[in-house]
Amino acid sequence: MNLVYLALLHDEMLNKNGETVTTSLTLIDLHDIARSARTYGFAQLFIVHSVPAIRALANRLKDHWQVGFGSTYNLNRKEALDYSCIVEGLDDVIAQVFEQTGKSIKLIATSARGGENRISFPEARELLANDDKNAYIVLFGTGWGMTPALLERCDYILEPIYGYSEYNHLSVRSACAIILDRLRIVNR
Ligand code: SAM
């Protein structure tokens, strides 16, 4: 099975006014996305934030569940968080994945918005399963999603999840769980 990585981004995001911002870290995202990543066999979850105090907070939470009281209280949570890593920027993610795999890196963006050049879930699933020449990182946004410049930097943009109503406001951790399922399990 090819190694596939995940990154949750907070810089170069849009706010509701369409401005470029750095969003705050939602701590439950770290727990829940780490569990989804582990469940669906993704290699590592990178939590990416440019603000040192936020990275320190995320590391403190990780430490609580990995070496503190939580490490013996909830082993499942510890195991999931073992697969997470907190870094400053997307370039750090790319550098670490390159160091681990030695492969050229392909970025797959996710977005709630449709548009041109979207790759379908079956196409993405094929790539992740069969392309062993490249290493893939699936990117998740926060706030009102990634800036157009960040999306342009990606090699692929995944088609959105369409729900069963016109309401299109999934939280990133819910969207992530659905996307990971579709990227791994055939016929979704
Ligand atoms: N309007 C934003 C957008 O265009 O992505 C929604 C931002 S949403 C709160 C934060 C992140 O959750 C998105 O960047 C994407 O990673 C994920 N997300 C949320 N809804 C999604 C959907 N319907 N399809 C795919 N990804 C979604």
Say if CB 150 and CB 21 are below 8 A apart: no
Query: Which residue has a Cα nearest atom 10 of ligand 1?
Result: 142
- How remote is the CA of residue 161 from the centroid of ligand 1, in Å? 9
pLDDT in the model for residue 160: 98
State pTM to two decimals. Answer: 0.94
Select from 186, 182, 105, 146 the least CA-distant residue to 12.
146
Which residues of the chain have a pLDDT value below 70? 1, 68-71, 74, 77, 188
pLDDT in the model for residue 70: 61
pLDDT in the model for residue 68: 65
pLDDT in the model for residue 62: 84
Lining ligand 1 with CB less than 6 A are 110-113, 140-142, 144-146, 160-161, 168, 170, 172, 175
pLDDT in the model for residue 64: 78
- How remote is the CA of residue 23 from the centroid of ligand 1, in Å? 14
